[in-house]
Structure formats: C-alpha cells, structure tokens
C-alpha cells in the first residue's frame, strides 16, 4: 500500500510545483510554450497506451484530439458549460470513438488498422469542414470566459494541463504495472498465442483504445480556449499524428516514462526551433529525428540507457 | 438540380479520372499489394514528382509528362536506396511491422515539410499547349488535361501487366510475393528483386506525379488526399491485382465525380476513405482478391 502511494504523492507534488510556477507571473510566452509541451505529454502518453503497450499503431491521433476540441466548441456555442464539463464531454466522446476503433481491431490488424485510423481522421475532418455550426472550413472565433479562477486565462489553462499530464501519466503507469499491461504486451508480441492462453484480447484492446481515445479527447477539449480560434486544418494537423508517435518512439515505448522523455525533449526542441528559426523547420527536425531514431535506436532513449547499463 | 446531361458529364469525368487514379495507385499496388511493404510514403513521392515537373516546366518549359518520363531513372534510384535502408534496418531484423510503418510515415512527413519549405504553400501548376483544350462528343465535354492522363494511366497499367507476366524480372517479382525461399533455391536473390520492384514503384510515382500536376494544381499537402485513394484502390482492387487496380481506380473515379457533382467537391476526400473503411470491414480481400 505504501509503495502504491508514492506515484500519487509525486503526482500531487508535480501539480503543486506547476501551480507555484503558474503563480510566478513569468514571461507569458513561457506558459504558452509550456502548455504545448504538457499537451504533448498527454498526447504521447495516450498514444503509447495503444501503440506502445498493445502494438496497434494509431495514425489517427488528430481525429481524437480534434473530436475533443470540436465537442468543446459545440458545447461552448450551445450551452457554454464550465471548462471541467467541456473536458469531460470531449474525453467521453473521443473515448466512444476509441471504443468503435477497438471493434475495428477485430478485423483489421497491423498496417490495415493504421490506415483505417488515418482514414477516420480524414473522414472526420471532411465532416467538420462541412459542418457550419462549428465553423466549417472558415473556422470560428472562440471567446474565453471572463474571470478565470486565478491568474490570467493562459496561466489557468497551463495549470489545468499540468494536472492533466500528471493524470495521464499516472493512468499509463497504473495500466503498465497491472495485469492489463501484461495482457496487452502479451497480445502485442503474439495475439493468437495470447488468445489461446486465455488472455481476453478483445476486452483488453477495447480498454486500450477507449482509454487512449479518452485521454486524447481530454487533451483536445481546452484547445479552443487556448488558441481562441478553431479551424479544421489546425485541429486535424498532421503534426499531431507525427508527434504522437515520434515522442514515444524517441523516448521508448515500453515504459510510461518513455513518452514523457520524448515529449519533453522533442516538444521543447520544437518550441525553441519555432522561435529561433521557423515553425516549418521545427517540423522537419521532428521528421528527421523520428526516422533517425527508428533506424538507429529502435528502442528509443530508454533502450540506449539500458544498453549502456548492461555493459 | 438533377439532369441527364449533368449525370453523363459526371460519369465521363469519373471514367477519365479513374484511368489517372490507376496510374497513381500502380506503385503502391506493386509494393504494398504484392510485396506487403507498407510504403505510406508513396503519395509524398507522387507530389515530389509533380513538383519536379513544375520546376522543369517553369525553368525550361519542358512538357510535364516528358519530365515525368525523363525522371523515372532518378526516382528508381531513390526508391532502391530507400528500400535498402528499410531492408537493412527493419526487414532483416524481422521488425518491419510497427517500426517499418513509422519509418515510412516519417519519410512522408519529411518530404511534405521539405517541399513546403522550398516552395511554400501556394498552389503550383504547369503550362502545356493541350491543357486548356477540350473536345465535345454528344454534349459531353472531354478536357484534354483529363484525357491524356487517363490514356497514360491505361498505358502504364498495360506496361506493368506485361512486365510482370512476360519478363524474367517481372515473374521474379511475382515469385517473391509468393515464396521467398523457393525463389532463393531457384538462384535469384529476393532482396535484389524486391529492390527492383520498390524502385519501379517509386519510378511510377514520378510519372503519376507529372499526370497529377497536369490535371490539377498541387500543394505540398496534396499527398494526404492520395493516401486514402491509393490504399482504397489497392485494397478494393484486391491487393496486387494489376487489372483490379485499374477497375478499382475507375470505380473510385466515378463515385468521386458523382459525389462532387451532386453533393459538392468538399465531400470528395471522404469518399475514398469511406470506401476503404467499408471494404476493409466487409470484404478485406477486395473485388479481385487472391
């Protein structure tokens, strides 16, 4: 019991530090950039629950993320509930989509699953482009609610993201350490064999896709308030799909800390490159680093560390 | 809203588009359909081919399709190098599934971002004497910029079909897709054969890219529209069936054209992915599947 309590304590500590940073009133850009990196921690962790633990590569990350964002936009336009309700709704809708994707795995494995998720992203984007109520192809301005609980609104969103990142990492860590994680890695290595040994593969896959979708939707829901303008091309950007798989690949996919390492390194590198050089060049760096890592260090940074220790 | 004239025009436009779609999908049909290499980067090579045509057309006024043909050796070499890296890093270790997929996805992304760094995100088009012209038969207009890519697409399909069924290397490619071990016993090197097949697949993208920019202006992100089309056509056609690729291309072309005419062009991208999801869910073997 005491051992199990540690990660929670550390999580709470991180949130407290986050709030402390938020109350520092440092350069506002730092919060802006910090939000993006924290958002990537959530996205990479969520992707890794399905991609790293279960071995199903999801190229459709933007679909879940944007579904969370657009659920929020729909609610903002219709009833304007407070942010936690928006996030919960975004997470639930994206989680439902994840459940649907999970049933798809019954017939589609490997490459076909990945292409189908990519397909899903394009179909959803087309729907949003044609749906005028949430902005259509021209997009929609979103007005932030006045008077956040503390600080200014960006600082408030930053704090929310700190909590969300801690939550996502704790969920991933719990899954990894429990029988669910062992079952998932069994089906990743050999699905037929796992099924024969009595691992409930379908239920596990449905669990993984739903949780992964839920977390991605949670991460997407505050996005409209963060950018204050929602538009299909930015909400469904391919950057999310690439980053979502590049970050765990670079950090290491077998452990919860891998996506965090990848997201912090790659996320900060991108923010730096965007400011100092250009945003396109920062994306190019992501692509090159991704390809370099899968070719040279397929186990990611964690694998490199393990190899060094082994010697 | 509805008229027979409109329908006839839409169907003819779709048929013409279908021939072009076949040209676009041949490369992926060969590499993914026959050899099971999930080259998601193929659409990016297609757009690269389109931009090469644009550059040579802009600088020296060379006809885009001539450029497409002239550059096939260059694309073949690029393809051969990419396959060697892929083989050395993934296939030899038996690790091609997850990481191989990520590798190709990374290449797609690098190509797309590099093109937008170099050329920006403006639409680019080519000039050629025949692009503006069209003929009219019984009230149905046929634009040359669609007719020529369609004819080229059919010719490419026929060439690839003859190559695969009549030549030594073509038959070896078919053999690799069936039984690598047996091929090795016959004294052929599977890796070499696959390198050739992959090179041909990328070379086809050079020509198809030239056809693409003849039909419509191109931006670096055009590749995303073609991911769905290529894989939908390959799966619908039955994974590696060359004739099936042409048939599936025509089917997709006609459905897209009808959608664009009667519901508006903004729905067109969803058609291919819709078909793909449907085929994968209902009949994964495709229409002409093995």
B94, B106, B118: best to mutate for the A interface, most A CBs within 10 A: B106
Phi, psi of B127, deg, nearest 5: -110, 130
The residues, any chain, with a CB within 8 Å of residue A192's CB and separated by 6 or more, are none
Count of domains observed in chain B? 1
**Cα–Cα distance measured from residue A303 to residue B93, given in angstroms and rounded to the nearest whole number:** 16
> Beta-carbon neighbour count of residue B15 at 10 Å?
17
**Cα–Cα distance measured from residue B29 to residue B34, given in angstroms and rounded to the nearest whole number:** 7
Partners of residue B218 on adjacent β-strands: B124
Residues A158, A161, A164, CA angle at the centre, nearest 5°?
160
Joined together, the tokens standing for residue B11 give 């169907």
Chain A contact present for B104, CB below 8 A? no
Chain B residues 53-92 with CB within 8 Å of chain A: 85, 89
**Cα–Cα distance measured from residue A55 to residue B98, given in angstroms and rounded to the nearest whole number:** 7
Chain B contact present for A81, CB below 8 A? no
B289 pLDDT band, cuts 50/70/90, is: low
The answer to whether residues B211 and B68 touch, using CB atoms and an 8 Å cutoff, is: yes
The answer, yes or no, to whether residue B95 has pLDDT greater than 70, is: no
Joined together, the tokens standing for residue B66 give 């001539």
Q: Which helix (H) or strand (E) holds B241?
A: none
Chain B contact present for A286, CB below 8 A? yes
**Cα–Cα distance measured from residue B242 to residue B87, given in angstroms and rounded to the nearest whole number:** 25
Which tens digits make up the pLDDT trace of B7-46? 888 888 889 999 999 999 999 988 888 888 888 899 999 9
CB contact under 8 A, B280 and A107: yes
Which range in A41-45, A224-228, B178-182, B228-232 is most confidently predicted, on average pLDDT? A41-45
Residues A31, A37, A38, CA angle at the centre, nearest 5°?
85
Q: What is the pLDDT of residue A97?
A: 93
The answer to whether residues A72 and A82 touch, using CB atoms and an 8 Å cutoff, is: no
CB contact under 8 A, A290 and B117: no
Shortest distance, CA A116 to any CA of chain B (angstroms): 6
Gyration radius of chain B's alpha carbons:
19
Shortest distance, CA B84 to any CA of chain A (angstroms): 12
Cα dist from B168 to B72, B162, B163, B176, B201, whole Å: 21, 11, 8, 12, 17
In a domain, B231, yes or no: no
Chain A contact present for B119, CB below 8 A? no
CB contact under 8 A, A122 and B273: yes
The answer, yes or no, to whether residue B138 has pLDDT greater than 80, is: no
In a domain, B61, yes or no: yes
CB contact under 8 A, A291 and B284: no
Mean pLDDT of chain B: 86
CB contact under 8 A, B102 and A294: yes
In a domain, B39, yes or no: yes
Q: What is the pLDDT of residue A281?
A: 82
Residue B139's domain comprises 19-222
- Buried b / exposed e over B168-178, threshold 16 CB at 10 Å, is eebebbebbbe
B95, B98, B100, B110: best to mutate for the A interface, most A CBs within 10 A: B98
CB contact under 8 A, B109 and A137: no
B110, B233, B260, B269: best to mutate for the A interface, most A CBs within 10 A: B110
Cα dist from A170 to A11, A121, B200, whole Å: 8, 27, 48
Strands (E), B40-171: 134-137, 140-143
Residue among B32, B113, B227 whose CB faces A287 most closely: B113
Joined together, the tokens standing for residue A84 give 């936690």
Which tens digits make up the pLDDT trace of B198-218? 999 999 999 999 999 988 899
- Provide the CA B241 distance to its chain's centre, in angstroms: 14
A47, A57, A119, A289: best to mutate for the B interface, most B CBs within 10 A: A119
Q: What is the distance in angstroms between the CA of the first residue and the CA of the last residue of chain A?
A: 35
Cα dist from B240 to B95, B169, B207, B254, B279, whole Å: 23, 16, 19, 21, 15
Per-residue pLDDT of chain A (311 residues; tens, 9 = 90+): 445 567 777 777 777 777 777 666 667 788 888 899 999 999 999 999 998 898 888 888 999 999 999 999 999 888 888 888 999 999 999 999 999 888 877 777 778 888 888 888 888 988 888 888 888 888 888 888 877 776 678 888 888 898 999 999 999 999 999 998 889 888 888 888 888 888 888 899 999 999 999 999 999 999 998 888 888 888 888 888 888 988 998 888 888 889 999 999 888 888 888 888 777 788 888 889 889 888 888 788 888 888 888 76
**Cα–Cα distance measured from residue A283 to residue A270, given in angstroms and rounded to the nearest whole number:** 7
pTM for the predicted model, two decimal places: 0.86
> Which chain B residue shows the shortest CA-CA distance from A106?
B281
| Residue that the structure tokens 């999908």 belong to | B25
Look at phi and psi of residue A263 and say left if phi exceeds 0, alpha if psi is from -120 to 50, else beta: alpha
B98 pLDDT band, cuts 50/70/90, is: confident
Chain A contact present for B113, CB below 8 A? yes
In chain A, where are the structural domains located? Answer: 2-237
In a domain, B276, yes or no: no
Which tens digits make up the pLDDT trace of B244-265? 889 999 999 999 988 888 887 7
**Cα–Cα distance measured from residue B21 to residue A94, given in angstroms and rounded to the nearest whole number:** 33
């Amino acid at each position: 019991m005491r051992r199990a309590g540690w990660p929670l304590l550390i999580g709470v500590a991180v949130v407290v530090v986050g709030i402390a940073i938020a109350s520092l009133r440092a350069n506002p850009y730092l919060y802006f950039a910090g939000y993006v990196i924290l958002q990537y921690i959530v996205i990479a962790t969520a992707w890794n629950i399905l991609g790293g633990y279960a071995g199903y590569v999801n190229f459709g990350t933007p679909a879940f993320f944007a579904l969370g964002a657009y659920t929020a936009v729909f609610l903002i336009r219709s009833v304007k509930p407070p942010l936690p309700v928006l996030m919960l709704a975004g997470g639930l809708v994206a989680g439902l989509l994840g459940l649907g994707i999970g049933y798809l795995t019954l017939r589609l494995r490997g490459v076909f699953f990945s292409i189908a998720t990519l397909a899903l992203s394009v179909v959803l984007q087309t729907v949003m482009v044609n749906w005028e109520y949430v902005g259509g192809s021209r997009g929609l301005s979103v007005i932030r609610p006045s008077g956040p609980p503390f600080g200014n609104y960006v600082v408030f969103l930053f704090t929310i993201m700190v909590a969300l990142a801690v939550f996502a990492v704790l969920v991933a860590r719990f899954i990894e350490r429990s029988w669910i994680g062992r079952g998932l890695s069994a089906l990743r290595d050999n699905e037929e064999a796992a099924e024969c040994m009595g691992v409930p593969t379908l239920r596990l896959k449905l669990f993984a896709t739903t949780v992964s979708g839920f977390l991605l939707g949670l991460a997407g829901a505050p996005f409209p308030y963060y950018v204050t303008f929602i538009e299909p091309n930015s909400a469904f950007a391919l950057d999310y799909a690439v980053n979502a798989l590049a970050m765990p690949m670079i950090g290491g996919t077998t452990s919860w800390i891998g996506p965090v390492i990848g997201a912090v390194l790659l996320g900060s590198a991108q923010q730096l490159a965007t400011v100092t050089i250009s945003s396109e060049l920062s994306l190019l760096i992501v692509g090159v680093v991704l390809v370099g890592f899968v070719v040279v260090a397929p186990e990611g940074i964690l694998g490199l560390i393990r190899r060094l220790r082994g010697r | 809203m509805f008229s027979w004239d409109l329908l006839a025009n839409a169907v003819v436009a779709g048929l013409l588009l279908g021939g072009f779609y076949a040209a676009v999908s041949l490369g992926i049909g060969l590499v993914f359909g026959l050899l099971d290499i999930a080259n998601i980067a193929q659409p990016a090579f297609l757009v690269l081919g389109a931009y090469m045509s644009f550059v040579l057309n802009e600088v020296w006024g060379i006809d885009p399709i001539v450029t497409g043909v002239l550059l096939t050796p260059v694309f073949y070499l690029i393809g051969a190098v990419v396959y060697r890296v892929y083989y050395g890093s993934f296939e030899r270790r038996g690790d091609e599934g997850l990481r191989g997929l990520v590798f190709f996805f990374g290449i797609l992304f690098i190509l797309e971002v590099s093109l937008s760094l170099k050329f920006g995100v403006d639409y680019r088009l080519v000039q050629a004497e025949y692009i503006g012209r069209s003929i009219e038969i019984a009230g149905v207009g046929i634009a040359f910029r669609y007719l020529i890519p369609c004819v080229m697409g059919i010719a490419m399909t026929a060439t690839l079909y003859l190559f695969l069924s009549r030549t030594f290397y073509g038959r070896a490619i078919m053999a690799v897709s069936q039984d690598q071990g047996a091929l090795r016993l016959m004294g052929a090197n599977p890796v070499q054969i696959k390198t050739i097949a992959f090179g041909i697949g990328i070379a086809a993208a050079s020509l198809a890219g030239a056809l693409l920019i003849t039909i419509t202006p191109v931006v670096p992100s055009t590749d995303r529209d073609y991911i769905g089309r290529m894989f939908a056509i390959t799966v619908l056609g039955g994974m590696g069936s060359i004739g099936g690729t042409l048939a599936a291309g025509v089917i997709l072309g006609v459905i897209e054209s009808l959608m664009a005419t009667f519901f508006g062009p903004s729905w067109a991208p969803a058609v291919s992915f819709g078909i793909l999801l449907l085929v994968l869910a209902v009949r994964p073997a495709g229409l002409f599947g093995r």
